[in-house]
Amino acid sequence: MAAGCSAATGSSVASGSRLPVVGLVAAAGGFLFGYDTAVINGANQYVSAHFALSSAQEGVAAASAILGCIPGAIVAGFLSDRYGRKRALLLCAVLFALSGVASALPSTFTEFLVARFFSGIAIGISSMVCPVYVSECAPANSRGRLGTLFQLGIVVGILVTFFVNAAIQGQGDANWNQAIGWRWMLGAEAIPALLLLCTLPLAPESSRWLAQESGHIGELFQKRFRRPLVIAVGVAAIAQLSGINAVMYYSTRIFTGAGVGVGDAFTSTVIIGCVNLLFTLVALVTVDRAGRRALLLIGLLFQIASLSTVAWSLGTHSGGTLLLVAILVFIAAFALALGPIPWLLGSEVFPARIRGRAMSVVSFSVWISCYVVAQTFPVLNDTPAIGPAGTFALYAAVSVVGLLFTWRLVPETKGRSLEDIEASWGAG
């Protein structure tokens, strides 16, 4: 077991010298997740012009990676339980690198969609394997901080993408970007993918995976594990259904429609990205002190207040500074709690023998919920009977449900070993 995490007194964790490598793997996996998710926002207009896409085809281009995330999340659990966390991450890194290059080279729209679909598979795999790998290798007293590195990587990846896209866009005029610029935006993903590939040989395998007994997905639905399944899936779904991607994907549309003086898309997305990064760092340093449950309750309270304010502002056409501040408070609250904690909590509450497949179910719920929000926001926003105000009131109501759900069902897991958490479900 020398190549894995060392075992000690019922808890298998990575040796101190290897913890930084474990953290780097989590951050690199998250960075690729964030970069790939955000890069299409800058490239999409040029891809559409290059291939002369219709509005419907443009939507397909933007959603093609998300559609790949769903099967990626489904197969990731089986792959990581059967072949190990490191090998699953290795496959993920290879897919990121190859799909990045393939996305930059297509001669037809169909080739582009296939490449983006495979990048989505890589995102789906990373969203399941990275949190589980870190959770299994980290000691109980720092599992929250190391686990949050995955979310930090996502946030940094999204923010860096804004600047990469802007830098490439500035290298030429619209014709150059339509012909070549978007290819560099998508192809640049191969660079961080190579970093992950170079890091993985130095990383330990999870000894919890090495020592696990074989399990089957049916165990996940036994009475004993019904509560952790409901908790992990419920928190993950609430995180997405509370509207975070409505802001991330459509922030410019929201601001412009409200008449706010933040018409420049780059400026507004960078402001949101910086707030997202700042409060993810706050979560990083507080999650092992305050605890998962406490941060969820605090974050959801601020989400309810901020989303209600957004709904009121849009409904009364007050707009202006109040709307911008309310949206930024929502981003901060989400980054503090519902951004990192669903991944962390889901990787903590299941037994090792089914943890991979259980996290596939959790990741599946994330991507289905993400797709629902991305597809329904424009419809809800443009429906006269609902409109922007009603849409954000709905997201506030989801946050109220999340607060009650957390208060009633979610236990505190900080400072507890994974074995202790598993044993706590023993009574059913």
Question: Looking at the predicted structure, is the pLDDT value of residue 82 above 70?
Answer: yes
Residue 259 lies in a domain: yes
Residue 5 lies in a domain: no
Query: For residue 414, what are the β-bridge partners?
Result: none
Q: Is 4 left (phi over 0), alpha (psi -120 to 50) or beta?
A: beta
Identify whether residues 245 and 165 lie together within a single domain. no
- The pLDDT of residue 127: 87
Question: Looking at the predicted structure, is the pLDDT value of residue 261 above 70?
Answer: no
Residue 152 lies in a domain: yes
Q: Which of 328, 330, 40, 244 is nearest to 157 (CA)?
A: 40
% of residues, the chain, pLDDT over 70: 88
Distances from the Cα of 54 to the Cα of 2, 50, 145, 363, 397, angstroms: 56, 11, 45, 31, 35
Round to whole Å and give the CA distance between 185 and 177. 10
Residue 361 lies in a domain: yes
Check which CATH number belongs to the domain holding 394 and give it.
1.20.1250.20
- Segments forming the whole domain that contains residue 349: 215-428
Residue 126 lies in a domain: yes
- Mean pLDDT for 87-91 is 92
Pick the range with the lowest mean pLDDT from 133-142, 270-279, 299-308: 133-142
Identify whether residues 391 and 291 lie together within a single domain. yes
**Domain end marker among 176, 205, 234:** 205
% of residues, the chain, pLDDT over 90: 39
**Domain end marker among 205, 238, 254:** 205
Round to whole Å and give the CA distance between 34 and 39. 8
Residue 11 lies in a domain: no
> Could you tell me the pLDDT band of residue 58, with boundaries at 50, 70 and 90?
confident
Q: Which of 387, 376, 246, 249 is nearest to 311 (CA)?
A: 387
> Could you tell me the pLDDT band of residue 294, with boundaries at 50, 70 and 90?
very high
Identify whether residues 146 and 25 lie together within a single domain. yes
Identify whether residues 137 and 84 lie together within a single domain. yes
Q: Which of 255-264, 281-290, 364-373 has the highest mean pLDDT?
A: 281-290
Identify whether residues 37 and 173 lie together within a single domain. yes
Pick the range with the lowest mean pLDDT from 30-34, 72-76, 136-140: 136-140
> Could you tell me the pLDDT band of residue 217, with boundaries at 50, 70 and 90?
low
List % helix, strand, coil for the chain (3-state, nearest 5).
80, 0, 15
Identify whether residues 148 and 237 lie together within a single domain. no
Residue 10 lies in a domain: no
Helix (H) or strand (E) holding 7: strand 6-8
Kindly report the backbone phi and psi dihedral angles of residue 290, in degrees, each rounded to the nearest multiple of 5, phi listed first: -75, -35
CB 101 within 8 A of CB 188: no
- The pLDDT of residue 3: 47
Residue pointed to by tokens 């890091």: 199
pLDDT by residue (tens digit) across 151-199? 899 999 988 988 898 899 889 888 999 999 999 999 999 999 998 998 8
Identify whether residues 253 and 201 lie together within a single domain. no
Select the more confidently predicted residue: 267 or 307.
Answer: 307
Identify whether residues 152 and 270 lie together within a single domain. no
CB 272 within 8 A of CB 331: yes
Identify whether residues 161 and 226 lie together within a single domain. no
Question: Looking at the predicted structure, is the pLDDT value of residue 256 above 70?
Answer: no
Round to whole Å and give the CA distance between 314 and 73. 36
Where would I find the H helices in 291-351?
A: 292-316, 320-336, 341-348
Identify whether residues 39 and 159 lie together within a single domain. yes
- The pLDDT of residue 170: 87
- The pLDDT of residue 388: 86
**Domain end marker among 205, 236, 261:** 205
Identify whether residues 200 and 225 lie together within a single domain. no
Residue 1 lies in a domain: no
Identify whether residues 197 and 220 lie together within a single domain. no
Q: Following CA atoms 253, 381, 277, 163 in sequence, which dihedral angle do they give, to the nearest 10 degrees?
A: -30
- The pLDDT of residue 210: 62
Give me the chain's average pLDDT, please: 85
Domain count, the chain: 2
pLDDT by residue (tens digit) across 296-332? 999 999 999 999 999 998 888 776 678 888 999 999 9
